[in-house]
Structure 1
Amino acid sequence: MAEDGPLLNYFPDPPPFFKHFTTKNIERLKEIEKEADNGTEASNGIANPSSKLSTEQILALPTELRYLIPPPPPHDNESFHVFGEPAKSSGTNNFTQMMAFISKTLGEQFVLSDWTYTQLYPSTGSPSADPPSTSHSTDANIDRQQYLNRFNRSIIIEYISLLGIVAKNPTSEHKDRKLKHILTLVCNMHALINEYRPHQARETLITIMEEQVKRKKAEAEGVKVMQEKIRGVLEGFGKAVEAEGENEGGEEVKEVAHKDNKEERRREAQRGMWDAMDELLAQ
């Protein structure tokens, strides 16, 4: 191994400052917090000790103690990076970002320069389909299937109308207006379909759990069946041993005559027991 080079770890090492999270350092930080809090009782642990010390006091701490104080949580609208991607505490509106990307791409390619997404159904408060600028509706139980059917029919009608416009004049200005309307309808359908994802995830989880319950019940039934088999084999083996014990006081000639039969019965009982054990271990 020395000739091939050092063995690399499958997982990266933890950050080096984890060594500062010791019981001694935690106790030291608690004492400093008590002194800063004028002798009042400090909270257990170091979940949020930054609220007990001022900025000047934190900067005056030794380096090993400053690592024990977590930074203050970011605000809802404050952006930070996770694995190189911008994120927010309130969540990232991926649908809004995707619509903005589509609008920007269409404008850069001079296809539909001024298209913007417009929501055509009441808002349900879902962050995946509701831009922050739109007004929230109090109706949270809209009939999504009804709106999807409406959008589908509208797309068909708009597409037929677009074919008529292109057949008469391929360079007509009404063509772009129809394309924008069709794109808006398709994006609204996409947003409504995405709102079914929590329901899909819930139903998928229910199905997985039901399958696990069925599998465990089948395993329990298999154990019970195997228990009965082993019990029958052991009972037969016990009867064979008892029969051997009863016949021990017989005549020597009779014992010699039936010796082979007894030995065969004993071996059969042992084979049956070992077969049952093998079958049990194979479950």
Structure 2
Amino acid sequence: MAENKQQQEEPEFLSAYYPDPPPFYKHFTRENQERLQQFKSDDGITDDGAGSGGLPAAQLLSLPPELRCLVPPEPPADDAEYHVFGEATTGRGVDAFDRDMEYIGRGLLDEGTIKNWIHEHLYPVPPADQNADGVQVQWTVDRQTYLLRFVRSILLNYLELLGILANNPASEDKDEKLRNILNLVTNAHALVNEYRPHQARETLINMMEDQLEKKKAEVEDVRQMKQKVEDVLAELARQGPDGAASAAQEENAAQSAEEKRKHVQRDTWHVLDELLGH
């Protein structure tokens, strides 16, 4: 019973992709906002962005519960840990690659496939120093060169592994070659992932170019239709109702006004069908 009660009291983190909004969103009403502004005005508090919306802790606790939610909390520090969809993270982010490498190492150790494998960084990293003005030093790495080196090294280690297995399948040297190959593969994988921002930018550029081409095509279709309508109206002005009515009056002067109107309409539709190609 005590264990069940303890499990019930433990906080449950949001793990759904699209979780429901927190219940206090109902307190964000115009009336509550006016009450909060009135409270600040009465106490002479200005929204200077310091602390919890400019409110000291004592005054924040003196607010009604429905107004406390309207006061934004202080932003977390860079090294402060908080949870997002059940995953722990910090303000500066989490190095997921190192965490994944540790997970792979533990998995290999548990399975007994490769023992004592530790990821080793094999290409240069950006320097952490700054110049006198506090601007980050411009630095880059020739990723293509290192990727080619990794591929050649993987092939070489693979050939050496085949030679070791051909001579003695139980040799411990094969484990060393497997560790080298895995380390080279993970370094190549990390280096390829550094192209992700470039890939995202290029993908966005392609999407925007496609949208621009579609908009240009739509504008061109509108212009063509506008020109076609202008041609139809010009042709109607030349051969339209006035000309058709005059011809009808000359041919049939004894027709009634209703018959003349119907005759003019039929001629007008006939001209439109010929101009529009129907």
Specify the alignment match of 1:214 in structure 2. Answer: 213
Range that drifts further, 214-223 or 244-253:
244-253
Q: List 4+ stretches of structure 1 deviating above 6 A.
A: 253-256, 259-263
Shift of 1:21: 2.5
- Map residues 10-49 of structure 1 onto 2, 5 A cutoff: 14-33=21-40, 39=44, 42-43=46-47
- Map residues 246-257 of structure 1 onto 2, 5 A cutoff: 246-247=246-247, 250=250, 252=252
Give me the whole-angstrom Cα distance separating, in 2, the residues matched to 1:230 and 1:104.
73
Give me the whole-angstrom Cα distance separating, in 1, the residues matched to 2:185 and 2:179.
10
Shift of 1:118: 0.9
Count of residues paired in the alignment: 248
Q: 1:138 to 1:114 in 2, by over 3 A?
A: farther
Specify the alignment match of 1:242 in structure 2. Answer: 242
Q: Percent identity?
A: 42
Structure 1 segments unaligned to the other structure (5+ residues): 1-10, 126-136, 279-283
Shift of 1:86: 1.7
**For residue 18 of structure 1, what is the amino acid of its counterpart?**
Y
Give me the whole-angstrom Cα distance separating, in 1, the residues matched to 2:54 and 2:264.
86
Specify the alignment match of 2:109 in structure 1. Answer: 107
1:84 counterpart = 2:91 = no
Asked if the contact 1:81–1:87 (Cα under 8 Å) also holds between the matched residues in 2, the reply is yes
Structure 2 segments unaligned to the other structure (5+ residues): 1-17, 128-135
**For residue 107 of structure 1, what is the amino acid of its counterpart?**
L
- Map residues 1-283 of structure 1 onto 2, 5 A cutoff: 14-33=21-40, 39=44, 42-43=46-47, 50=52, 52-124=54-126, 140-240=139-239, 241-247=241-247, 250=250, 252=252, 265-272=267-274
**For residue 181 of structure 2, what is the amino acid of its counterpart?**
I
TM-score by length of 1: 0.75
Q: CA RMSD in A?
A: 3.3
TM-score by length of 2: 0.76
Asked if the contact 1:106–1:112 (Cα under 8 Å) also holds between the matched residues in 2, the reply is yes
The 3-state SS of whatever aligns with 1:250 is helix
Shift of 1:22: 3.3
